[in-house]
Amino acid sequence: MLAIDENTITDAALEQMSATPDPRLKQVMAALVRHLHAFAREVDLTAEEWLEGIKFLTAVGQACTPYRQEFILLSDTLGLSSLVNALHDRRSTEAGTKTSLLGPFYRQDSPLRKPGESIAAEAGGPEICIYGRVLNSSGQGIPNASVQIWQSDDHGVYDLQKHDPSVMDMRGSFHADSEGRYYLRTVRPLGYLIPMDGPVGDMIRAQRRHGYRPAHIHFLIGAPGYRELVTALYLRNDDHIDSDTVFGVTESLVTETRPNDPSSPLPNLPSIRFDFTLGAAAAAEASGRVGADPSQITKSPALASH
Ligand SMILES: [Fe+2]
């Protein structure tokens, strides 16, 4: 019989899991156990700290609702979501626009809008135009590409944070035209504090981090035969552009509004022009969405009955 001690316990756990028939599950779980054990040995984890960790993760789970995903927020603030995005980008066979975080505020079924319509039903603040094309890697427009957009309003708040969640605002779904062109109106978003009233907020305060995301606009872009693109555009003149709490900013996604842009379809508004490039989909490729509509993860009894 194996003598279990602080070192042999890892092999004992791996041995018990060694008959896992699914090879990927076996690989992932074995690596998880090795790293988890190595972590506990490295910090010489005490029983009290172990219990604090259990309590913290319990609180993270309990903070989740069909409209709030505290675990995604935890993943985002630990840099894990951004790392998984980067690994997804590395697997692409064709260069495309860089991905960024889906974040915890994505909703499926956002309202379908006509080209040029505004996604802001209530929000005030300076109106802007966002326009450009959805292109393939050879620079040709992708006809009818789907462009989903969502963002915080001019106070840095998402609809999910202020409304009855059945109300959708500051989000919409568009289709590009036959040459891949899209355009829409919105208001200039403000950067925001991530939700700080839950366990992730406690962690951020304990680490003396500021908790802010720079102003940004989320996009999810797709077309049959292409890799779905989850990304965001960041506004350059934001105080937190270099210290995003969730590590989503990358230089190629930083942009700024231009006044009086003669090529804009709405030249009277300050505009952001951005062309998105989608790579071809590899066969049977898994989704690159590091995140999900919270209601798709955590079903409330009311939603589950639908
Ligand atoms: Fe966001």
pLDDT digits (tens, 9 = 90+) for 94-112: 889 999 988 878 998 899 9
Cα–Cα distance, 258 to 269 (Å, whole number): 9
The better pLDDT of the pair 78, 68 is held by 78
pLDDT above 70 (res 305): no
Q: Considering only 125-134, 149-158, 267-276, 288-297, which range has the smallest mean pLDDT?
A: 288-297
Amino acid code (one letter) for 256 = E
- Cα separation, 158 vs 154, in Å, equals 10
Structure tokens at 33: 């156990």
**7-11, 153-157, 162-166, 281-285: range with highest mean pLDDT:** 7-11
Distance, in Å, from the CA atom of 221 to the CA atom of 136, rounded to the nearest integer, reads 12
For residue 217, how far is its CA from the centre of ligand 1 (angstroms)? Answer: 7
Distance (angstroms) between ligand 1 centre and the Cα of 22 equals 35
Higher pLDDT, 203 or 287: 203
Amino acid at site 189: P
Ligand 1 centroid – CA 151 distance (Å): 6
What is the band of 284 on the pLDDT scale with cuts at 50, 70, 90? Answer: low
How close is the Cα of 67 to the center of ligand 1, in Å?
14
- Residue 143 C-alpha to ligand 1 middle, in angstroms? 27
Number of H helices and E strands in the chain, helices first, is 9, 11
Report how far ligand 1's centroid is from the alpha carbon of 36 (Å). Answer: 30
